[in-house]
Structures are given as C-alpha cells and as structure tokens.
Amino acid sequence: MTVQVGDRLPEGTLSEFIETETAGCSLGPNTFEVADLVKGKKIVIFGLPGAYTPTCSAQHVPGYVQHADALKAKGVDEIWCISVNDAFVMGAWGRDQKATGIVRMMADGNAAYSKALGLDADFSKHGMGTRSKRYSMLVEDGVVKALNVETAGFEVSSAEKMLEQLG
C-alpha cells in the first residue's frame, strides 16, 4: 500500500554519509531512525531511481539544490533525497551535485524504506533491481501533507512543483 496524504511516515531507517564529525555523528555512514529525524520539522522529501542516473543528475537533484533557499523561505526545515543506493555512493553523489549542506542525501541501501512507503519500483529489466519510484512529498512532524508520484517522465516531483504547492 502506498503512503497517502494524511498518513504518518512509516517507521524505518535511512543512512547518510556524514562529511564532518560532530557529537553523535561519526565521519562516514550513519544510520538514523526516520521518526526521530522528522519530529517537529517540515521536510521536503524527494525520491528517485538512482544516483548518477541521467534525469536524477541533470534535473531532479539540481532543481532542489537551486531552489533550496526558496523552499526554506517557505518554512521548510530540511530537504532530503532518498535513493536505493548505499551511503558511500549517496555521499559522493551529493558532493558531485554540490548538494552537501543543502540536500540531505539519504541512502535506502536495500530499498526497505522505499518498500515501507509503497514507493518501490522494479527496475530489473534495466539491470538495476528494486529501486525507488520518482516522487516528492511534503512532511510536517512526520505526517504527509503533499505527495507527487511520477507515472512517467519527470513532471510532478520537481522542486518547482513543490514550491507551487507551498504557496
């Protein structure tokens, strides 16, 4: 079952490659409980099939990096990119995309969280196994307030569309 507007995000974990060691976060991959990260925050989450893939690298991530200040001006606390890749790949891709410190590059290495959201997709015919559908959502204090799932192409999950929805 796919998560819907009004639903609370499912429990689960995501990993993030931490570039700078801080109290409670060591350098390298760190695993976080989603429920802890979303408490009391307004977060834009976008999911995509994979790091370094053409549309994801040319449009999806760059759009959120470019419009991060505008999203934050509308009250967004954090922006997350979720992909079925490991934290090392997501960290490297984030550096490549100039997203470090702007978009949290969250790894869903085994697609467990994408499956919990009901937003997983079978990319086996492309040799990529289980991946994430392309989507965006607005989450406030763990509750989904807006959800945009692509059916084909790249039309409804862009940063520009999310800005429109935020008013």
- Over residues 39-84, the pLDDT tens digits come to 999 999 999 999 998 888 888 999 999 999 999 999 999 999 999 9
| Mean pLDDT, the chain, whole residue set | 93
Closest CA to 108 of 20, 49, 63: 49
The pLDDT value recorded for residue 25 is 66
56 as an active site residue: the answer is yes
pTM higher than 0.95 for the full model?
no
Share of the chain above pLDDT 70, in %: 95
In this structure, the chain runs to a length of 167
Residues of the chain whose pLDDT is less than 70? 21-27
Query: Active-site residue among 56, 82, 87, 103?
Result: 56
**Cα angle 76, 77, 79; round to 5:** 80
Alpha-carbon distance of 72 to 56, in angstroms, equals 21
pLDDT of residue 5: 97
Q: How far is CA 115 from the centre of its chain?
A: 14
159 close to 67: Cβ distance less than 8 angstroms: yes
